[in-house]
């Protein structure tokens, strides 16, 4: 039976195969397995998921009564995103006599997607991976674009590869079991997409904020489609982040510093929310902000339950030191993605990341306590 889903094709220049399809729907998890089987009838599936997804019943919905070799990441979450988990996945695939004719199915949030995608990228020099994202972060961001990887004991995503998915299936109903804090924080990436690329989407998000917070599945389906369209548009133009893809880092430069200084007690989206407000303050200081823009962005983030100030225990000096170590710093100071207007990112001399002096950044940070 055909899946009841909307489709979005993503082209990826320069790699084989040259693209993939994202399917988005409500309640289609139970019908996916037949679709995967019929698309890749000759490949042997191997599932990677985590303990929370099993508990929530999503693995059972996906496979029904079939027995498929499955690696269950435990404990769930970032703590398991290290190379040892990948080693165990690869070895379990070998123990199950899987070879180059296998296909990895990633069922879960960004953590599962990043781990499974990386394992697929290196297993026997690479086998296809199908992404079935189940968090607001993964449905808006990590499942599309092909970045995969795991953390080292020194830094995040130290082991990594670009490995484009063979397909992405987004069932927004899986979000029904996601914890509220994770759900809201993940929506910050949607606000970011609207801010950098699509003013109309920003209006839509504002108008429908109550429906979004109440998990109205029809609205969630619409925002999943818009998020994927925006992310796909960016990654198609710059699949390996040479330049334009950097706009997806809006709010992330200061956001990453806040996330790291909080020792990851703040979620990624919660830190990026603060980072987006910081970026808005930089725009104001540089004379780039139209009246009311920052206030609208901040208003939406507050409705999502995000804090708009830096926690007092994080010192400004700590953030400045972390900014100097940003992975994209040049001369120990990062460049910043800035908005030109709501829905448009500033591009000057073909560059998307801009110099902002340390003084201005310090003043804006002072303003955030």
C-beta separation of 276 from 191 below 8 A: yes
Please tell me whether residue 64 adopts helix, strand or coil conformation: coil
Cβ 220 to ligand NAD, closest distance in Å? 12
Question: How does 15-47 read in b/e, with b if 16+ C-beta sit within 10 Å?
Answer: eeeeebebbbbbebbebbbebbeeebeebbbbb
Tell whether the torsion through CA atoms of 306, 271, 85 and 66 is positive or negative.
positive
**Among the options 58, 147, 192, 193, which is catalytic?**
147
**Among the options 156, 184, 246, 252, which is catalytic?**
252
**Among the options 125, 263, 327, 349, which is catalytic?**
125
**Which is nearer to ligand NAD, 142 or 345 (by Cβ)?**
142
Cβ 260 to ligand NAD, closest distance in Å? 12
**Among the options 58, 81, 156, 189, which is catalytic?**
189
Active-site residue 231, yes or no?
A: yes
Cβ 344 to ligand NAD, closest distance in Å? 23
Please tell me whether residue 170 adopts helix, strand or coil conformation: strand
Active-site residue 252, yes or no?
A: yes
Active-site residue 147, yes or no?
A: yes
- Residue 297 to residue 203: CA distance in whole angstroms: 11
**Which is nearer to ligand NAD, 271 or 345 (by Cβ)?**
271
Query: Which conformational region is residue 251 in: left (phi greater than 0), alpha (psi within -120 to 50 degrees), or beta?
Result: left
**Which is nearer to ligand NAD, 108 or 255 (by Cβ)?**
108
**Which is nearer to ligand NAD, 135 or 190 (by Cβ)?**
135
Cβ 303 to ligand NAD, closest distance in Å? 20
**Which is nearer to ligand NAD, 45 or 110 (by Cβ)?**
110
Cβ 149 to ligand NAD, closest distance in Å? 7
**Among the options 231, 246, 293, 335, which is catalytic?**
231
Cβ 177 to ligand NAD, closest distance in Å? 4
Active-site residue 335, yes or no?
A: no
Phi, psi of 104, deg, nearest 5: -90, 135
**Among the options 81, 184, 245, 281, which is catalytic?**
245
The site for ligand NAD (CB under 6 A) is made up of 50, 52-53, 56, 76-78, 81, 108-112, 114, 134-135, 137-138, 141-142, 145, 147, 156, 174-175, 177-178, 182, 186
Q: Where are the alpha helices (DSSP H) in the chain?
A: 32-39, 51-55, 58-63, 83-95, 110-122, 136-137, 180-186, 188-197, 199-207, 209-213, 217-237, 252-261, 268-285, 293-303, 316-324, 358-366
Active-site residue 229, yes or no?
A: no
**Which is nearer to ligand NAD, 135 or 226 (by Cβ)?**
135
Q: Within 10 A of 79 (CB to CB), how many other CB atoms are there?
A: 12
Cis status, amide bond into 17, omega within 30 of 0: yes
- Residue 214 to residue 209: CA distance in whole angstroms: 9
Active-site residue 268, yes or no?
A: yes
The helix-helix angle for 188-197 and 268-285 (nearest 10°) equals 30
User: Mind telling me the catalytic residues?
Assistant: 125, 147, 189, 231, 241, 245, 249, 252, 256, 268
């Amino acid at each position: 039976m055909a899946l009841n889903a909307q489709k979005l094709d993503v082209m990826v220049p320069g790699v084989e195969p040259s693209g993939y399809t994202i399917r988005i729907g409500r309640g289609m998890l139970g019908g996916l397995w037949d679709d995967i089987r019929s698309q890749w009838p000759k490949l042997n599936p191997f599932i990677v998921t985590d303990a929370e997804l099993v508990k929530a019943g999503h693995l059972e919905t996906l496979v029904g009564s079939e027995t498929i070799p499955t690696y269950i990441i435990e404990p769930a979450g970032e703590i398991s995103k290290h190379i040892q988990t990948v080693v165990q996945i690869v070895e379990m695939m070998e123990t199950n006599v899987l070879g180059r004719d296998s296909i990895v199915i990633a069922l879960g949030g960004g953590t599962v997607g990043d781990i499974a995608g990386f394992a697929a990228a290196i297993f026997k020099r690479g086998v296809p991976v199908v992404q079935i994202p189940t968090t607001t972060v993964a449905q808006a961001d990590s499942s599309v674009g092909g970045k995969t990887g795991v953390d080292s004991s020194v830094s995040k995503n130290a082991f990594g590869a670009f490995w484009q998915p063979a397909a992405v299936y987004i069932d927004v109903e899986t979000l029904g079991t996601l914890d509220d804090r994770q759900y809201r924080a993940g929506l910050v990436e949607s606000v970011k997409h609207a801010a950098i690329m699509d003013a109309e989407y920003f209006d839509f998000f504002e108008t429908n904020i109550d429906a979004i917070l109440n998990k109205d599945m029809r609205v969630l389906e619409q925002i999943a489609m818009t998020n994927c369209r925006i992310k796909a548009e960016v990654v198609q133009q710059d699949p390996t982040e040479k330049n334009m893809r950097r706009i997806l880092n809006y709010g992330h430069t200061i956001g990453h510093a806040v996330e790291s200084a909080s020792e990851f007690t703040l979620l990624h989206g919660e830190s990026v929310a603060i980072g987006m407000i910081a970026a808005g303050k930089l725009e104001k200081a540089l004379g780039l902000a139209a009246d009311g823009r920052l206030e609208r962005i901040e208003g939406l983030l507050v409705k999502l339950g995000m804090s708009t100030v830096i926690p007092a225990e994080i010192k400004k000096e700590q953030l400045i030191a972390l900014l100097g170590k940003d992975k994209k710093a040049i001369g120990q100071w990062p460049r910043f993605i800035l908005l030109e207007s709501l829905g448009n990112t500033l591009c000057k001399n073909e560059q998307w990341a801009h110099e902002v002096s340390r003084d201005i950044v310090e003043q804006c940070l002072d303003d955030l306590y």
